[in-house]
Every structure is written in structure tokens, then in C-alpha cells.
Amino acid sequence: MHELGIVFYIIRDVKKAAQENAVEHVSGVVMNIGEVSTVVPEYLQDCWRWAADKEELLKGCELKCNRVPAVSFCEDCRSEFGTVAHGKTCPCCGGENTYLLRGNEVEIKEIEVPNY
């Protein structure tokens, strides 16, 4: 389960951003998780709950995960298609000269702070 290691990196980055912006508490973190990133959002959230509550800055902080669909691009016919449904083969022309456009990301999209 590599999700725990990822959670430690998220916490590090959130703490750094909070310090740079003089934030005393973070209420939510929104993540973009790619469909083919190998990260399981449910596992990430379980690990988050355990680790975040150990940090005063993050006590009660919610981790929200947006799933980013995997999309590939075909160099031959210039079309985009769903990677999971079709793999590396373009459904439009049958070509295999394709590459992943998006769907592999694991990134912090937003850091939410309470309004005082």
C-alpha cells in the first residue's frame, strides 16, 4: 500500500503551504487522482484520516478525491479516446501510435481553510 507514503508527501506540502500563508488550520484538501495512477482513493482517504489527525494543523481535515479519467491521443488520426476502455489501440483508426494525455496525475488541487 503506497498510499500511506503519498499521504506523508501531501501532509508535507500542505504544511509548507500553510506556513507560507500564515494559516493555522486546514479544513480540507482536494486531490486530483488519475484513473490509471495506481492510487486507490479509498485507501488514500483511510491513510489520510490516520495521519492527518496526528497533526494539529490538520485535525478533522477532510481529504476529497476527484477522479480524473484516463484519456489517450492518437498521433495517426489526431483523436482522443478513453484509455481504460481501449488501451493503446485507437478505436477510431486502429492505430497504436498513441500516448496518455491525462489520467496519471496525483496532485493537490486545493487547500481549504476555514472562514473566521
**Which residue range is the domain that position 39 belongs to?**
3-12+25-112
Q: Residue 115's pLDDT band (boundaries 50, 70, 90)? A: confident
- For residue 83, what pLDDT is reported? 97
What does pLDDT average to over the chain? 96
- For residue 30, what pLDDT is reported? 98
- Whether residue 17 is contained in a domain is answered as no
What is the percentage of the chain residues whose pLDDT exceeds 70? 98
- Whether residue 20 is contained in a domain is answered as no
Per-residue CA distances from 57 to 45, 49, 86, 87 (Å): 17, 13, 43, 42
Indicate whether 114 pLDDT > 80: yes
- Whether residue 92 is contained in a domain is answered as yes
Total number of domains constituting the chain: 1
Would you say the pTM of this structure is higher than 0.75? Answer: yes
- Which whole number is the average pLDDT over 62-75? 98
pLDDT tens-digit readout, 2-39: 899 999 999 999 999 999 999 999 999 999 999 999 99
- Whether residue 42 is contained in a domain is answered as yes
Pairing state between β 28-34 and 62-68: parallel
- Whether residue 18 is contained in a domain is answered as no
- Whether residue 70 is contained in a domain is answered as yes
Indicate whether 116 pLDDT > 90: no
- Please report, for the domain that includes residue 67, its CATH number: 3.30.2320.80
